[in-house]
Chain A
Amino acid sequence: MLLLAMIAALFLGAYQLNPREVMNAIIDTNAGTNRFLILQIRAPRILLAALTGAGLAVSGAAIQGLFRNPLADQTLIGVTSGAMLFAVLSIVLAGSLLSWFSVFFRQASIAIFAFLGGLATTFLVYRLSSKQGRTEVTTMLLAGIAISAFAAAVSGVFIYISDDQQLRDITFWSLGSMSGANWGQFMLVAPIILFCILVLLRYSTALNAILLGEKEASYLGIQVERVKSQVILLTALIVGVCIAMSGIIGFVGLIIPHFLRLIQGTDYRLLLKNAALGGAIFLVVADTLARTIVAPAELPIGILTSLVGAPFFLWLLLRSKSQKLVI
């Protein structure tokens, strides 16, 4: 299904192509514009969307398990607000400090700043909630909320002093988009996200055990503290990279795991694998829609995932309530 979605996504877009044109473009080296469109613009973008979706969904599922809370998502560990703050900083300060650099460098600096900001905030939240080598999950949750609120407030200050162009940049960045995707980006990001997903998959049994409680998990021989720090680090890496590349894309980490739980149950050994696939499919489809609905213009993908995601999530909630299932 992921393959199907990815192939379909190759055809669709502001400039529609039929299957023969696509085949031609891939095989024939002299196909010109079509070949460039398919291989240099759409292909890396689709692959990046798939990776981002998989990363966000897998890390979302892992965080929900770790916090033993179905409403948890990556924003809780501070990575999102931290990345947002640093991206805003980069955009606003870039106007004054980095103005002599090229546009490309400014784009790259937003990505690097967002990534570092996400990691730094997560690290801060983690340190605040650790005492003598133990991390209290409830404290972490509260620390995450406090730090996120603070980061949002500081972002607010910078947004307030930014000029119109910067404001527009910030808004578009925060809505998320895959439009900047190219092979260079993909090559840079793919190993990191793939590595993180693979390591997270290894923690599936540990996450299952932690669902029963941290003490129960330790009775089963799970090194809970190690799992906690690793899962948080990997999540911060994945989300940091995703946000750096494509801005804030909401709801993927929340709804994909829930949707899968209703279909296949909670067992993390299946859930994490399916979340990778499900997240990839969801984001490839969402990105294809984002490119086509208002073509030749483009909708920010973050709007689309939330626009589709929120009602869908409500529907899931009401449905499970009527069937007396516990989410």
Chain B
Amino acid sequence: MISLKNVIVKKGGQQIVRGASFKIKPGRITVLLGRNGAGKSTVFEAITGSNKISGGQILWDGEPMNRLSSHALAQRRAVISQSVSLHFPLRVKEVVEMGCYAAEQALSTQKKEALLDYALSKTALLDKKEQTYQTLSGGEQKRAMLAKCMVQLHATRRADKHQYLFMDEPSAHLDITQQYKLLETIQFLVRRWQIGVFVILHDINLAAQLADDILLMRSGQIIHQGSPVDVLTASNLREALDIQCMVQQHPVLGGPHIISLPETTVFNPLNNRA
């Protein structure tokens, strides 16, 4: 379990994250929702280790994060970032293989090949493994990054340590089919490998369907946290995202289903403030 205790992150003298406390549990999906500029990516960077915290504490399974080396950290978590730009022609399999770099000992060629093929087939990229990364579509590039993370997590797996996967906006620029494919693979990792997932999303309904735990963030603070049913209420969403919405029960999945309405009168007949 990763616990954040009263975490403060400053950037240029300004407090971007102002005392965030929450937990990321293994085998569960934690979704962070919030408006642009709420501090989501800053929290994300603090937990993944690319940004230093100015106050509070982050514990990884009880160990303070500042005691973990970047190598030790790479054995406990993998990260899919928003975008990767590559200026040199690398083949898909070469990119995915980089996941192995975090391993304690070099894997045998045979084991490595088997692992690569497994990750590539799980992400439906097996037939593209010899292609250059740049020739892939946006959705395929995201899946290749996921395959790289799968390789990283698997190559560094240990019975006594929990592992986590972090994603900032994984569904951005993906069509709806690609979004579901990506999330399916992630759910597989959570259920089968007991990976803890921390993900920033903008689509509230996607969050409602995917999340075990939801965090709502506003102005650098976590203002609500808990299960989707408890957190995703009309009043909470208005507070966190400044939207007017109706929350219904999803006709098939049973969880909350959010129908959001824009604030402007032009689009919203329910809004009679004008």
A-B pairs with beta carbons under 8 A, tally: 81
Partner-contacting stretch, out of A180-188, A207-215, A273-281: A207-215
Contact A218 to B89, CB < 8 A, known contacts A212-B84, A212-B95: no
How many angstroms between the C-alpha atoms of A205 and B89 in the bound complex?
16
Interface set, chain B 45-73, CB cutoff 8 A to A: 48-50, 70-73
Cross-interface CB contact of A68 among B71, B72, B87, B94, cutoff 8 Å: B87
Q: Does B110 contact A (CB under 8 A)?
A: no
> In the bound complex, do residue B89 and residue A265 qualify as a contact, i.e. CB atoms below 8 Å apart?
yes
Q: Does B78 contact A (CB under 8 A)?
A: yes
> In the bound complex, do residue A211 and residue B90 qualify as a contact, i.e. CB atoms below 8 Å apart?
yes
How many angstroms between the C-alpha atoms of A218 and B79 in the bound complex?
10
How many angstroms between the C-alpha atoms of A220 and B85 in the bound complex?
16
> In the bound complex, do residue A266 and residue B101 qualify as a contact, i.e. CB atoms below 8 Å apart?
no
Chain A residue nearest to B94 in the complex (CB): A267
> In the bound complex, do residue A326 and residue B102 qualify as a contact, i.e. CB atoms below 8 Å apart?
no
How many angstroms between the C-alpha atoms of A315 and B77 in the bound complex?
44
Residues of A within 8 A of B87 (CB): 68-70, 211, 326
Q: Does A223 contact B (CB under 8 A)?
A: yes
Q: Does B134 contact A (CB under 8 A)?
A: yes
Shortest Cβ distance from A247 into chain B, in angstroms? 30
Shortest Cβ distance from A246 into chain B, in angstroms? 29
Q: Does A160 contact B (CB under 8 A)?
A: no
Please encode chain A, from 209 to 245, with 1 for each CB lying within 8 Å of some chain B CB and 0 for all others.
1011101101111110000000000000000000000
Interface set, chain A 244-303, CB cutoff 8 A to B: 261, 265-267
Residues of A within 8 A of B5 (CB): none
Please encode chain B, from 94 to 125, with 1 for each CB lying within 8 Å of some chain A CB and 0 for all others.
11001101100000000000000000000000
Contact A265 to B94, CB < 8 A, known contacts A213-B85, A215-B50, A216-B84: yes
Interface set, chain A 51-82, CB cutoff 8 A to B: 64-65, 68-70
How many angstroms between the C-alpha atoms of A219 and B79 in the bound complex?
6
How many angstroms between the C-alpha atoms of A154 and B131 in the bound complex?
49
> In the bound complex, do residue B81 and residue A220 qualify as a contact, i.e. CB atoms below 8 Å apart?
no
Cross-interface CB contact of A220 among B50, B88, B132, B152, cutoff 8 Å: B152
Shortest Cβ distance from A222 into chain B, in angstroms? 7
Q: Does B202 contact A (CB under 8 A)?
A: no
Residues of B within 8 A of A219 (CB): 48-50, 74, 77-79, 81
Contact A220 to B90, CB < 8 A, known contacts A213-B84, A326-B132, A326-B134: no
Interface size class of A (residues with CB under 8 A): 20 to 34
Chain B residue nearest to A262 in the complex (CB): B89
Cross-interface CB contact of A223 among B70, B85, B88, B132, cutoff 8 Å: B70
How many angstroms between the C-alpha atoms of A261 and B132 in the bound complex?
12
Contact A221 to B75, CB < 8 A, known contacts A70-B87, A212-B84, A261-B89: yes
Shortest Cβ distance from B106 into chain A, in angstroms? 10
Cross-interface CB contact of A211 among B75, B78, B79, B86, cutoff 8 Å: B86
How many angstroms between the C-alpha atoms of A209 and B81 in the bound complex?
14
Residues of B within 8 A of A327 (CB): 89
Cross-interface CB contact of B81 among A65, A215, A223, A265, cutoff 8 Å: A215
> In the bound complex, do residue B86 and residue A220 qualify as a contact, i.e. CB atoms below 8 Å apart?
no
> In the bound complex, do residue B84 and residue A220 qualify as a contact, i.e. CB atoms below 8 Å apart?
no
> In the bound complex, do residue B89 and residue A220 qualify as a contact, i.e. CB atoms below 8 Å apart?
no
Shortest Cβ distance from B214 into chain A, in angstroms? 25
Chain B residue nearest to A209 in the complex (CB): B98
How many angstroms between the C-alpha atoms of A67 and B99 in the bound complex?
22
Shortest Cβ distance from B166 into chain A, in angstroms? 8
Contact A222 to B89, CB < 8 A, known contacts A205-B101, A216-B84, A326-B134: no
Shortest Cβ distance from A19 into chain B, in angstroms? 42
Residues of A within 8 A of B91 (CB): 265, 267
Shortest Cβ distance from A65 into chain B, in angstroms? 8
> In the bound complex, do residue A208 and residue B98 qualify as a contact, i.e. CB atoms below 8 Å apart?
yes
Shortest Cβ distance from A73 into chain B, in angstroms? 15
Known A215-B81, A326-B89; 6 more pairs at CB < 8 Å: A65-B88, A216-B84, A220-B152, A221-B71, A223-B70, A326-B132
9 CB-based A-B contacts, threshold 8 Å = A212-B95, A212-B98, A216-B79, A219-B48, A220-B101, A220-B102, A261-B89, A326-B89, A327-B89
Closest 9 CB pairs of A and B: A221-B74, A221-B71, A221-B102, A219-B79, A266-B88, A220-B101, A266-B90, A205-B101, A267-B94
